[in-house]
Structure 1
């Protein structure tokens, strides 16, 4: 006889309530409320909603420039009071289109004033702002739309519109689409231009909107951030009003941003606003300090000026900054991992220290901050005020799993109670999924991904059981072989390590895809080696012996530095293309997606181990 007991609906509800009481800091319900991580309610910053923050700035700095966009006929500027009124108009228009409480507004397109107005308007109207990468496939858009219950899509052009048209038959909540760039080419019911959309606001009263705004609480969700993986279902991270407003103000204070009338900060946005780090630093921080936010042109990331070290080194610091186009910048920041020691040293030699920030979408984009007079090279800085960091399961070198705590920690994963409770413990600590250590002065150093089962790990476990961190190996190879752009060390469950290499190729400025032609830097290096190669195919298909020998010598030099025989690269191959966002190997911020690389180049990896002529 089975000993299992079928629970009644009431019993299941009681169990869910008991679990919620055990985890008061998190929820997976779209209309859920959480306990804020306030150590002292008398000295902590009072919780406010997104609307409160935007309105306070609009009242105090009404006539200061808030947004700037370059159009064909010049600049289009909005003051803070105009910005606020446009957000209210968008909110009323969303209500007119039928946006329901705790349902989503999906925003997909290039950054613009319409993007941020739609985002804030969706929140004011009681919905969720759901930023979606413009590179997402229709299928990815469908998955996001279904889980966040998107009522309205806001897209920038016909290309993005066509993605929604392909899937609209499967979207039971979809009520309207708004296109904010280009002339509308497709005529269909419930499709609105940006101007036509805003005109809908006239039939919704101010009182109606105010009632919706007044019903919102700081500890309720207002934004969803999606993590899409090639190996697991997408996760929707729920961020509360307090997550955004508290983290914004704490970050602005830690970075010593100025406010009018003392000075007005000027920010230029180019990273996708669907990426939470960029959204927080550009969109929200600019509002909190009444800064002027300008949007870069769509081709801002398609220019690749050479960083001529020899020339810049001969210039004075100020001339070097001007040469690089950075002479107006006061501070230089890098968010996340990826900058090599050589890059940091280069900019430091120009008296331009790059200050590292660290955070996850689950921590509202930011948790640690470096400052000009309070930073350490290779460190991500110190935690925000009234937040905490700890490491657990440290190894012999003191490196352990990083856990964080603070009002920036997210509410939970939408509709995913199991993963939410695995990610956040009963005391509100978040498992970041990263490995690192704290020095004696509480500076954080992140060295890789964690061994914890909650996330895909960078750590490679060989068939012998030995664990290898590929990151320092890859950086070492790039240092010895400047012709190489990306190095991906592989070897999970294999007897030894191998490496996938890409060479530095030019980028197609229209598509963002890599070309066959090598960069000028790579060609110059080939000339130094007495090689005539100018294209990737010259090296791969024609088997340029000079370049191949140089790469082999670089691998040998990198191997000579390791202390463990298992950390040596035994075989390597040059891939037929460089990595790119368009190709799927890189994320929106050009961060390497290891799982996707392993999937795309599975055949190449298998070939490295197929003819196993390696003698242990």
Structure 2
């Protein structure tokens, strides 16, 4: 690899070349940061790291909503040679503390409103807790004698002393680190018993970035609207890492992306590329488009070829305008797209494509530009990746497990060699846990989920076993199974009749008790893991000889 293709040198070069261009804008605040501003703030954080004794390879935890500070801390950690540990801002406190401890993080950057609910003594390896909201130390170990706080107060003065003529492009100097080195640990879940830290190297992130640059997904002066969580691999790679590598102007939404707010932001930003999850397109289709095409007059018009073309063109133009009107394509990922929605969008020639990936590949596995996209596919395997279908006599027609290897595949799970060996075989193939077929031209068609993981509507990974582990500890729950029904999470519960008999509780009291259980459970899990309904079942779940529940019997 040419040294200028090394990820850190890509950023050094981009920041120099795009020095005067806008890098980040916080939507609604009117605040914009140029690449020069961002580079200066990165340099200041590098000084802070040095003062705190942060070494190359040390872990830096980052927990908060998308913001200027979030992006700057992530990029500063990466370009210092430390390892960034993003933690989703809506993980509950216990799970977040577990991740911070498990990852061996030595510094934590966090929104103050989140830290208010944490206990500093529960994260003993963390030397200092820094606010993402302002230049402030929220907590540090007594043994440091407030050294970090004192240094932070003197930081502007120290920057002036180090760069007496101001911070310039010549001062951007990022270490030459081999891309096999660890860059990020991204936890696939926040639950203590099951959380796995995906170890992504500079090469894994670099593979995604270089592909995005070569494909011109973003380019110098292009515009991006970042509304997916940057703590997720998908949003991180294509709303931040690729854009900042080429000189894109990224507008950060920073608030809950409600349909009303998104439409306003699309109209103002007019992004050059839209990265989204299926939920957005599905909501637009169900709430806006389907009611129109089901009107009798429109239905009749669609029966006439000439009028049909006009109607479809009008719908397409309105939809394009809703997304800002100036984008090359909409890339859908993070969860499967509803087939009915996909077919309609293809019929009206809306410029969208569906990609496939997972955190373990940081995230991209396959993608095709919209003009070459084949409906019901998940795009073509990246040039830097190989794909094969395991245990299938005819991989083009008979589904098997999708296995991939190549530049983007993670190093493994942090401190979890057993879990690593379970998914990466001796030949380096990552077993994705998804079932599918593979065409001659390396296009992937996903046919179903091999694993039990549920993909939430906004692209979050939901692990039923984690929710069940908590649910099974609740009063009068003997065993449970969490399933997806439509867009809802339903908990099937077999009650603990022995406990009910012991406590002299009548059956008619069960629905009320279960509603209380649901309420208590939903306070323990992340917002996207909340259960919509508990459904009681009369008999024990059917099980295998190993006493595992036969899940497939209950997923319909």
Do structure 1's residue 436 and structure 2's residue 436 form an aligned pair? yes
* Gaps in structure 2 of 5+ consecutive residues: 141-145, 164-170, 261-282, 299-310, 454-460, 466-480, 495-510, 543-556
Q: Which residue of 1 aligns with 2:187?
A: 226
Do structure 1's residue 52 and structure 2's residue 3 form an aligned pair? no
Measured against aligned partners, the alpha-carbon deviations of 1:24-66 in whole angstroms (never above 9, x if no partner) come to: xxxxxxxxxxxxxxxxxxxx66685442121011122222221
Do structure 1's residue 259 and structure 2's residue 219 form an aligned pair? yes
Matches within 5 A, 1:454-533: 485-486=487-488
TM-score w.r.t. length of structure 2:
0.69
Q: Which residue of 1 aligns with 2:354?
A: 356
Distance 1:183 1:581, change over 3 A: farther
Deviation at 1:389, TM superposition (A): 0.4
2: CA distance, partners of 1:100 / 1:143: 22
Q: Which residue of 2 aligns with 1:514?
A: none
2: CA distance, partners of 1:326 / 1:491: 46
2: CA distance, partners of 1:450 / 1:606: 26
* Gaps in structure 1 of 5+ consecutive residues: 1-43, 460-469, 479-484, 493-540, 542-572, 588-592
Aligned residue among 50, 56, 78 for 1:123: 78
Q: Does structure 2 retain, via aligned residues, the 8 Å contact 1:403–1:430? A: yes
2: CA distance, partners of 1:67 / 1:325: 20
Q: Which residue of 1 aligns with 2:235?
A: 278
Deviation at 1:319, TM superposition (A): 4.1
Q: Which residue of 1 aligns with 2:379?
A: 381
SS in 2 for 1:300: coil
Deviation at 1:159, TM superposition (A): 1.7
Q: Which residue of 1 aligns with 2:58?
A: 103
Do structure 1's residue 337 and structure 2's residue 335 form an aligned pair? yes
**Greater fraction of residues in helix:** 2
Deviation at 1:203, TM superposition (A): 9.3
Distance 1:355 1:577, change over 3 A: farther
Aligned residue among 534, 537, 540 for 1:607: 537
Measured against aligned partners, the alpha-carbon deviations of 1:326-345 in whole angstroms (never above 9, x if no partner) come to: 42322011113332112213
Q: Does structure 2 retain, via aligned residues, the 8 Å contact 1:93–1:204? A: no
Measured against aligned partners, the alpha-carbon deviations of 1:222-252 in whole angstroms (never above 9, x if no partner) come to: 1110022658431111111111122211133
Deviation at 1:322, TM superposition (A): 5.6
2: CA distance, partners of 1:391 / 1:259: 34
Distance 1:117 1:456, change over 3 A: closer
SS in 1 for 2:24: strand
Q: Which residue of 2 aligns with 1:570?
A: none
Distance 1:81 1:611, change over 3 A: closer
Q: Which residue of 2 aligns with 1:177?
A: 129
Aligned residue among 155, 159, 166 for 2:113: 159
Q: Does structure 2 retain, via aligned residues, the 8 Å contact 1:103–1:127? A: yes
TM-score w.r.t. length of structure 1:
0.63
2: CA distance, partners of 1:267 / 1:420: 35
Q: Does structure 2 retain, via aligned residues, the 8 Å contact 1:64–1:79? A: yes
The two structures, once aligned, show a CA RMSD in angstroms of 4.3
SS in 2 for 1:307: helix
Deviation at 1:204, TM superposition (A): 9.5
Distance 1:186 1:375, change over 3 A: closer
Measured against aligned partners, the alpha-carbon deviations of 1:388-437 in whole angstroms (never above 9, x if no partner) come to: 10011127861111110111111111122222233222322111121111
Q: Which residue of 2 aligns with 1:424?
A: 424
Q: Which residue of 1 aligns with 2:414?
A: 414
Q: Which residue of 2 aligns with 1:511?
A: none
Do structure 1's residue 311 and structure 2's residue 292 form an aligned pair? yes
Q: Does structure 1 retain, via aligned residues, the 8 Å contact 2:4–2:10? A: no
Q: Does structure 2 retain, via aligned residues, the 8 Å contact 1:129–1:224? A: yes
